[in-house]
Amino acid sequence: MKPSEARGEFTALEQKINGHPLIYLDSAATTLKPRSVVEAVSHFYSYEAANVHRGAHALGDRATENFEATRSCIAEFIGARDVDEIVFTKGTTESINLVAQTWGRRYLRSGDVVILSEMEHHANIVPWQILQQELGFEIKWVPVTESGELNFDTYKGLLDKKVKLVSLTYASNSLGTINDIAKFIAAAKSVGSVTLVDAAQAMTVEAINVRNLGCDFLAFSAHKVYGPFGVGILYGRIEVLSALPPYQGGGAMIAEVTKEKTIFLQPPQRFEAGTPNISGVVAFARAIEFVRELAPDNISRHERGLTELLLQMLADVEGVRLVGNSRSRRNIISFVLDGAHPSDVGQLLNQQGVAVRTGHHCNQPLMNRFGISGTIRVSFGVYNNEHDVEAFMRALMKAREILL
């Protein structure tokens, strides 16, 4: 299947919103779900709803087999050395909290430094600030340039032996900038720092191989790669994961419990307490298959073409100011319209069936960096086409006419 043929797989696009065909331009918030993913969830609940890792009966065995097959599928997708390096979580946010509460709590001390960047999503800021209040380490920030890129030279100047963790996003969810993350990881490793990559926006940008990247941790959510909500993964290098204490306690993560103590299972089960989102995990594999069939490079090329088309069209609109303008960007454009509040623009677009995101996009430090409270963000998915770009422009011009 080519990206241009994928549209038919998305039933959500068959509906009208406010009397207009839905033009969905909010894939950075979440992608729509292809038929195969929706059917996998439905099939699981219709025929296979059983708990995993209990070995109780045939349905449980089947659920366990499919659940673990997803783990293998993801390990292969990201080039992990070992399936045990894949921990299922609720998503990127939980994955980062898991690292903060296990690795962070075990290894960070007062006097240490954690490096984040100004373009981090709150999911890669708040967990560290919560821990910082308790442990007293310092957070240093990689600045973002006017064009929306991380300043590598300043970053290098921040690196020394006190830096214990560098935790950066692969791609900015507001600006669309795609960072040369391998370069940032290599520099972090040269001072002995552990590295975490927030890949929430990056899994269809290019084929990602964690071994080539050399990161210690990587996190992403299924719902941003055409998969279900409420599930994601944490990749952790096995040597690092094996040395960590559990995240949460409960069933499914223990080898033995006595009144005196608990012996924990090895990773990844050590970090997967309680009944997981089994249908989500099973359907996650269908999403990965969908992406692999199309190939991240082809998805990227398709979305980049639409982005370039829209950038050309926006260049002719008076009052449109791009926020960030990195040439690395692939599927996201953020802008403000002088004299109009982003949320008013968003509402008027919605009235015309066009779905975009407005606001701070969980990037308040980044918005502060640009001296704005929010942007209008257009983000493309594999199902978008040139007709969507034209429909967006018509709707934007109408909104502009009403507001200005």
- Chain residues binding ligand PLP by CB under 6 A are 91-93, 121, 123-124, 169, 173, 198, 200-201, 221, 223, 362
Cα(221)–Cα(95) distance, integer angstroms: 9
CB of 397 to ligand PLP, least distance (A): 28
State yes or no: is 215 an active-site residue: no
Q: What share of the chain is helix, strand, coil (3-state, %, to 5)?
A: 45, 20, 35
Helix (H, G, I), strand (E, B) or coil at 23: strand
Yes or no: say if 117 and 140 are a contact pair by the CB < 8 Å rule.
no
Yes or no: say if 223 and 91 are a contact pair by the CB < 8 Å rule.
yes
Q: Which is nearer to ligand PLP, 73 or 116 (CB)?
A: 116
Output the six-digit token pair for 90.
């609720």
Q: Which is nearer to ligand PLP, 229 or 264 (CB)?
A: 229
Q: Up-side HSE of residue 309: CA atoms within 13 Å toward CB? A: 18
Yes or no: say if 290 and 73 are a contact pair by the CB < 8 Å rule.
no
CB of 393 to ligand PLP, least distance (A): 25
Yes or no: say if 381 and 32 are a contact pair by the CB < 8 Å rule.
yes
Query: Which amino acid would we find at residue 124?
Result: N
Single out the residue of 195, 198, 186 nearest to residue 216, CA to CA: 195
* Biggest alpha carbon–alpha carbon distance for the chain: 71
CB of 90 to ligand PLP, least distance (A): 7
Single out the residue of 225, 228, 120, 127 nearest to residue 170, CA to CA: 120
Q: Which is nearer to ligand PLP, 124 or 358 (CB)?
A: 124
CB of 199 to ligand PLP, least distance (A): 8
Cβ neighbours, 10 Å, residue 118: 20
Is the CA virtual torsion 30, 32, 34, 39 positive or negative?
positive
Cis amide linkage into residue 268, ω under 30° from 0: yes
CB of 295 to ligand PLP, least distance (A): 22
CB of 169 to ligand PLP, least distance (A): 5
Q: Which is nearer to ligand PLP, 112 or 198 (CB)?
A: 198
CB of 230 to ligand PLP, least distance (A): 9
Single out the residue of 283, 241, 200, 189 nearest to residue 80, CA to CA: 241
Q: Which is nearer to ligand PLP, 91 or 236 (CB)?
A: 91
Output the six-digit token pair for 188.
């972090």
Q: Which is nearer to ligand PLP, 48 or 198 (CB)?
A: 198
Q: What are the CA-CA distances from residue 42 to residues 38, 47, 104, 232, 290 (Å)?
A: 6, 9, 38, 19, 17
23, 362, 389, 395: the catalytic one is 362
- Please list the residues that pair with 140 across neighbouring strands: 115
Q: Which is nearer to ligand PLP, 64 or 370 (CB)?
A: 370
Q: Which is nearer to ligand PLP, 38 or 123 (CB)?
A: 123
Yes or no: say if 386 and 306 are a contact pair by the CB < 8 Å rule.
yes
Cα(369)–Cα(401) distance, integer angstroms: 29
CB of 241 to ligand PLP, least distance (A): 20
Active site residues: 362
